[in-house]
Structure 1
Amino acid sequence: CFPPLSWQTYDVDFTNAKSKDGKKVKNAKITVRLNGIVIHKDFEIPRKTGGSRRDPEGTPGPIKLQGHGNPLQFRNVWILEK
């Protein structure tokens, strides 16, 4: 990470879970880069988090950006569908 209050770049490549006939057949996965350095590569996400929506897993929904009490700002947010 860069020092506090410096802009960071955070790239997230998310692939949604896959379902067939209402049953999950493949976990969601994520690749994350922080300032160009891969910190998670094809990391599988086995289940939804406790704070997620109640929709069936794999259902498209909103993107939420979360902080944990520290000053936080976002700029130049891009969302690209694959």
Structure 2
Amino acid sequence: MERIQTLPRKTAAIRYRQREQLTGGVVVLNHGIPTGWMNQLRDPHTWQPGVTAVDERGNEWIALGGNETDGATEWRPLNG
């Protein structure tokens, strides 16, 4: 069975920003894979718990609470 290796979240977010030519906002990652971008961190209920977000400065958040069907209930900082 082949194993998928993911990049560190910050590196994956930087590469996604460069590829998509994005500035500001946050890159959203699911299991370490970039899945979207938002101009600001908001609406945790639209993301599943466990999803992470990284801004341009390298600050990280994780979506917590809720469930896979209804989405998360909050974004909580992972660092700082």
TM-score range, shorter chain: under 0.3
Higher strand share: 1
Higher helix share: 2
TM-score by length of 2: 0.26
Q: Which has the higher contact order (CA 8 A, sep 6+)?
A: 2
Higher radius of gyration, 1 or 2? 1
TM-score by length of 1: 0.26
